[in-house]
Structure 1
Amino acid sequence: MHVVISQFVVANKMDEDVRDAFRNRPHLVDDAPGFIRMEVISPVDEPEMFWLMTYWQDYTSFESWHRSHLYQASHVGMPKGLKLVPGQNKVTHYNHICS
């Protein structure tokens, strides 16, 4: 299994709007080939920080999704005017060992 973690920090006090956007997301990734699940977490003491974790059967499945038009469409629900802290965005790829 391949895991992708995207980390970002909201710069302009829109963290609750981002939470709502994730809760009400269009679920476009759910039917992507190789997609397993998605989790979004935020530290209790840093509510403006988000970790988006997606689980895939393999790296190729993730890459196909990331290059698709549906990937772009899946971000349409993000709040207008959202600003992220520069230099705090990070995408990391992992090999899943066990659960």
Structure 2
Amino acid sequence: MFVVMNRIPVKPEYAERFEEVFRTRARLVDRMPGFIRNLVLRPKNPEDPYIVLTFWESEEAFRAWTESPAFKEGHARSGTLPKEAFRGPNRLETFQVVLDSEVEGD
């Protein structure tokens, strides 16, 4: 499994709007081959970034998503928040799963 983590530093006064963008998302990624699931984590400390996790069957499936027209369409919606909603740039990190306690045999 391949996991992508996006750390997004949102100013506290824009937190509700940021969450609403995800609640009303287009769900285009959900139909992509190899997509498993998406988690959006709200920080307990408002000064910490939101964490958006996507889980994929493989890195190739994730790369196919990022190169698809659906990716461009889905991310165009995130432009509904002004630049001042963010405390800085997002930080994308990628991981290969070594152990998953939900999967028998790991």
TM-score interval, normalised by the smaller of the two chains: 0.7 to 0.9
Structure 1 segment 1-99 matched on structure 2, within 5 A: 1-11=1-11, 13-46=13-46, 49-78=49-78, 79-83=80-84, 84-86=86-88, 88-96=89-97, 97-99=99-101
Higher helix share goes to which structure?
A: 2
CA distance in 1, matches of 2:21, 2:47: 15
- Work out the CA distance in 1 between the residues paired with 2:48 and 2:13: 7
TM-score normalized with structure 1 length: 0.87
Kindly indicate whether the alpha-carbon contact (under 8 Å) linking 1:15 and 1:47 is maintained by their aligned counterparts in 2. no
**Normalising to structure 2: TM-score of the pair?**
0.81
Please identify the structure whose Cα radius of gyration is greater. Answer: 2
- Backbone CA RMSD of aligned residues: 1.9
Equivalent pairs, count: 98
The unaligned stretches of length 5 or more in structure 1 are: none
Structure 2: unaligned runs, 5 residues or longer: 102-106
